[in-house]
Chain A
């Protein structure tokens, strides 16, 4: 256990060191200059990017979590395989193809990009919700039922708290993925940091490329960190340990 911890820590600090070196290297070559010279543009893209991620993730959570709850109800159990297969199919399509398909239906623009990102983040959230609820020990449900819990009390007091770890982990995965995928939104006119990244690629302009890419990376890392913090606050203390050891 402590050995494992040691290795994770070593890997983590090596990564941190590499990142710091990378920044020193990038700054020395003025590769991040655009962020400072064109900062109004930078903030517009930052806003676009965040809007893409926040709106699409929010929509995905409020659709996928309830969907996961519904298919795990006793009367809907039979529909589970159908819903799960549709969701799985959605995930097997590459993200860029989803964007292209959506463009065909909805045309170019910001809304199309949001819709594509939304579709793409449904699955991890849905799948983790279903897995989390299904992993709650049947004995607990039985005990709760035997003690006179009503069905909604079983859901809110037993199933959701005990599945919280898995559900939030699903949302975290989806959001972090979304931050990266949102860079593709530029391709269908959705804006975001993709604007600089793709322009940088086509012009062989390292400055533009990195000024777009580095903020995306930092955003993803920050989101991951914040969501882990949220996870820590939302998951009941008694469940935290068992979730980590399993």
Chain B
């Protein structure tokens, strides 16, 4: 658990980069620090491993103030991933991945085993890449290695500063999916800086939206989208926030809340979608096809009903009205 308690950062000259920030990150959650550039999100992140000093207030990890911990030990217990990976060009992939265990003086055998484990986790062949150098890898591979390196000493906390920001959209999406998959296995407590609302919705269990060093709203993505607290928030998440929000819900949610339409009687040869598909893509399929409905299949590929635009509309309406209903399913989509 990471707790931010009236955290303020003032630069020389009196500009406040971070202004009285309060929030708590629960264990195993991904919290996305979201905001326009210059909002203080990166500074806030770097205060956690004390790359930036705290002017006033306190940050505590598991109820222990980070001010009382030794800088070096604190940093070795926190994984750190930066944009464009920061792999060391003078070291092989294996040394890069196992550098923190090396600093912690693990023995060679343990390090090598850990290396193999991590490479399998990120889906790269350990033997093939052991003796290669960072420049021989593609951007996406480098970033994967960057993630593996941060996980090497199995730190409970990860700090990620726009880790996928320098990648092209297709690779970025792929790495986001892979990372969410990895997270289901490793269950780290993660602070994740991003300026991209779509990435925040996808990756975050919670989003802290910042502006000028202040937190505008700290909420689950679905709540942020359906109930923005002020004009800045609704402006930042955009006019299409409802459509963005649909990517957080699947047809299964819709089935549970409003049910599916009956199957069309006449012969139908349109597209079908899986029940695990999210509603944003479903809506897009519906509009693309120009059909009234699209057939839904369950995991056995059995047709179980149909979705219409009207149904999606009714589902949205129910979501907005039912915010206070805690039993509403807000499952994050993991593909």
Contact = CB atoms under 8 A, between A and B. Distances in A.
Give the interface residue-count category, chain B. 20 to 34
B90 A236 contact: yes
Given A143-B82, A148-B103, A242 B76 contact: no
Contact of B86 (A140, A148, A153, A157): A140
A139 B82 contact: yes
A153 B102 CA distance: 11
Interface string B45-58: 01001010000000
Interface in A220-245: 236-239, 241-242
A134 B88 CA distance: 16
A149 interface: yes
A146 B72 contact: no
B84 A162 contact: no
A147 B100 contact: yes
A162 B89 contact: yes
Interface string A142-185: 11111111100100011001101000000000000000000000
Interface residues of A, number: 23
Nearest to B89: A238
B313 to A, nearest CB: 47
B92 interface: yes
A149 B46 CA distance: 15
B231 interface: no
A164 B92 CA distance: 16
Given A143-B80, A238-B134, A242-B135, A148 B91 contact: no
Given A139-B84, A238-B134, A146 B49 contact: yes
B99 A147 contact: yes
B92 A146 contact: no
A147 B90 contact: no
Contacts of A142: 51, 82, 86
B76 A148 contact: yes
Contact of A146 (B73, B80, B90, B135): B80
Given A147-B100, A161-B90, A238 B51 contact: no
A176 to B, nearest CB: 26
Interface of A: 139-140, 142-150, 153, 157-158, 161-162, 164, 236-239, 241-242
Nearest 8 A/B pairs, CB to CB: A143-B86, A238-B133, A148-B76, A148-B75, A146-B80, A161-B90, A236-B90, A238-B89
